[in-house]
Amino acid sequence: MKQYLVIGLGRFGRSVAKTLYESNQEVMAVDVSEDLVQDMINDYKVENAMVLDGTDLTSLQEIGAQNFDTAFVCMRNLESSILTTLNLRELGISKIIAKAGSREHGKVLEKIGASKIVYPEEYMGRRIAQLVMEPNMIEHLRFSSDFLLAEIKAPNLFWNKTLIQLNVRNKYNANIVGIRKANDVFYPNPAAETLIEKGDILVVITDSKTARTLESLGE
């Protein structure tokens, strides 16, 4: 099992740590704020959390940060974010995912060794706009300008039919790679006999035009 280190427990960091923990991953969450660390433990968002300053190389070494497979730098402060990323690179962590508040911030983090830069506010703004324009579809990953992975609310004409009956691949040029049921249970790689029900969310790989066609079918 991979080990994840999350540094910075603001809203974004808490969300990252909680998601990893709920996915049964080994995660260590740290922050300079004792209150934030205690909140994580009290709310059962993670099992392992401690007060620690990511800008202090010695402290990172003492907790064995060098042994983690991936580190998330989720700090709001620009200087702290940069120093922490530098420390993690010095410790030899190959995969560092860093939060940036601006493109300029992101460029600096990238130049000093961050593997991936994320812009939470930009992403959320884009996602909210998409939800307003396309309430039945959430785009998750775009492989190219015209090929994407998206969640689409199952149209009513799909209800009470199996995947083999719908023949989505041939009729719509789309592949259903997962189904999220109304009770939030997720079924990856659903069998051909899987029944589509009202309230299902379909995880689809297809082209942009087809995704919008499926989304427009609505309920």
Nearest to 137 by CA among 204, 85, 92, 43: 204
In this structure, how many other beta carbons lie within 10 angstroms of the beta carbon of residue 133? 9
Residue 125 domain-assigned?
A: no
**pLDDT for position 119:** 86
Q: Taking the CB of residue 21, how many other CB atoms lie within 10 A of it?
A: 21
List the domain range (segments joined by +) for residue 192: 130-217
Residues in the chain: 219
Tokens representing 39? 């909140």
CATH of the domain at 27: 3.40.50.720
Rounded to two decimals, the pTM is: 0.63
Cα distance between residue 34 and residue 28, in whole Å? 15
Per-residue pLDDT of the chain (219 residues; tens, 9 = 90+): 789 999 999 989 998 998 888 888 899 999 999 999 999 888 877 889 999 999 999 999 999 999 999 999 999 889 999 999 999 999 999 899 999 988 899 999 999 999 999 888 766 666 556 555 555 556 555 555 567 788 888 888 899 999 999 998 888 888 888 898 888 788 888 989 999 999 898 888 888 787 778 777 755
Q: Based on the fold, state whether residues 164 and 203 are members of the same structural domain.
A: yes
Whichever domain contains 168, its CATH number is 3.30.70.1450
Number of folded domains that form the chain: 2
